[in-house]
Chains A and B, each alone.
Chain A
Amino acid sequence: MGDVFIGFSSLGWQEFVMYLVGATLVWLAITKEYEPMLLLPIGFGAILVNLPLSVVWEHEGSAGFLKVLYDGGIANELFPILIFIAVGAMIDFGPLFKNPFMIFFGAAAQLGIFATMIIATLPPFGFSLKEAAAIGVIGAADGPTAIYVANKFAKGMLGPISVAAYSYMSLVPLIQPPVIRLLTTRKERRIHMAYHEAGVPRWLKVAFPIVATMIAGIVAPISVPLVGSLMFGNLIRESGVLERLSKTAQNELAYLVTLLLGITIGSSMRADTFLNVRTLMILGMGLVAFVFDTAGGVLFAKLINLFLPGDRKINPMIGACGISAFPMSGRVIQKMAAEEEKGNIILMHAIGSNVSGQLGSIIAGGMILALVPLLAK
């Protein structure tokens, strides 16, 4: 008789908390439209995997469908790589080529990764170097990179890290503006930036993904899967002869892998591993990472402004776009600029900075993958 009611008897309060967490993510996706393509599958996956006996994960020695997806897409890093191909096909580096200096904001806005990594190792938190690095990469504002690094360094923390990365990416419109307002004056936020419509030679657009991959591969060979897949997608786009493949990568591939990635990440949120104080710390530090990213970009822009003549000053809000949340961050900054002064258009500069963030985040991820194993005990 006990077997008949095993579904009831195996439920604990932890499972109910996870149903609540899953339902909250689904609610955020549907009612608030926060990254619905990811938060909805993640939320439903979290509910699925916490149902009695966790049949979708493993049952009577056989792998369930979510474990099959996890082993075939996350454990071997296939899904993040496929997402990068899709993202690469979506990126137009044109705005960056027209104002290449914006590329440095893609570096400055990675500050949050490193600041958070240091904070995570401090005594109150006490994470190991590898765990701290995986947490810091939430600040890449780049889900696939966060998943990739977490999978290498802290498999057990994949669930909370992924949820934090995608949740905060969706909350960029709420996180960035107050940090920017705190660090800038109204006068600075009203700075106009001239935009010169200059042609970009086609050969540059084609050569860039190849050369960039080679350079990144020489500087940090371990970053090649990340950079290479992103640039492969971009090369398909820019080659001009693979339009159908480019469209497939941007649409069918992106949607399909996102769907599978989301529900599979959700399956990593099992009550026994998710419900602990460390999860709360990870979620808190993810927010810290995004704040430091924004501050790093803004302060770097202000530093550069010290050396620029009056008519060539950079609107420091552009620095905040150096995170990888593309194109959301660029749009947020343009909206802020327009609110400060009607008709102030800095969108193209913002997008140039924002695509640089894509490059910066995967290179930062690659640097961490290369450096941490040299030191970790």
Chain B
Amino acid sequence: MDGVIESLRHSGTTAQALGVSVGGLIGVFGTLAVFFALIWIAVRIGGRS
């Protein structure tokens, strides 16, 4: 990961923007996927109790 960041630091601005976009989208989808899993489990547990 450090290698990717270091390489992007020395790249052009558009390549950096692409890097931020890929990382950002992964971060947003990943975080919301965790929220989804928590809600899904909580609703299932709540439904049974």
Which residues of A does B touch, CB under 8 Å? 96-98, 100-101, 103-104, 106-107, 110-111, 113-115, 117-118, 120-122, 127-129, 132-133, 198-201, 203-204, 207-208, 211-212, 215-216, 219-220, 356, 359-360, 363-364, 367-368, 370-372, 374-377
Residues of B within 8 A of A (CB): 5, 8-9, 13-14, 16-21, 23-25, 27-36, 38-40, 42-43, 45-47, 49
The list of the 6 closest CB pairs from A to B, nearest first, reads A201-B46, A114-B21, A367-B27, A367-B24, A100-B39, A121-B13
Chain B residues near A114: list those with CB within 8 A: 17, 20-21, 24-25
Closest to B18 in A: A118
Total cross-chain contacts (CB, 8 A) = 124
Residues of A within 8 A of B8 (CB): 375
Q: Is the CB of B20 within 8 A of A129?
A: yes
A198 touching B47 in the complex, CB below 8 Å, given contacts A212-B35, A363-B32: yes
Contact B28 A129 (CB under 8 A): no
Cβ A133 vs Cβ B28 within 8 A: no
Q: How far is the CA of A363 from the CA of B32 in the complex (A)?
A: 9
Q: Is the CB of A107 within 8 A of B25?
A: yes
Give the CA-CA distance A372 to B45 in the complex, in Å.
39
Can you pick out 12 interface pairs between chain A and chain B where the beta carbons lie within 8 Å of each other?
A100-B43, A110-B25, A114-B17, A117-B20, A118-B17, A121-B14, A201-B49, A204-B39, A363-B32, A364-B28, A367-B24, A368-B24
Taking A204-B46, A215-B34, A219-B27 as contacts, is the C-beta distance between A375 and B39 under 8 angstroms?
no
Closest chain B residue to A201, Cβ basis: B46
A120 to B17, CA, bound (A): 9
* Residues in chain A near residue B30, CB distance under 8 A: 219
**Contacting pair A103 B36 (CB below 8 A):** yes
CB-contact partner of A100 in B13, B24, B29, B40, under 8 A:
B40
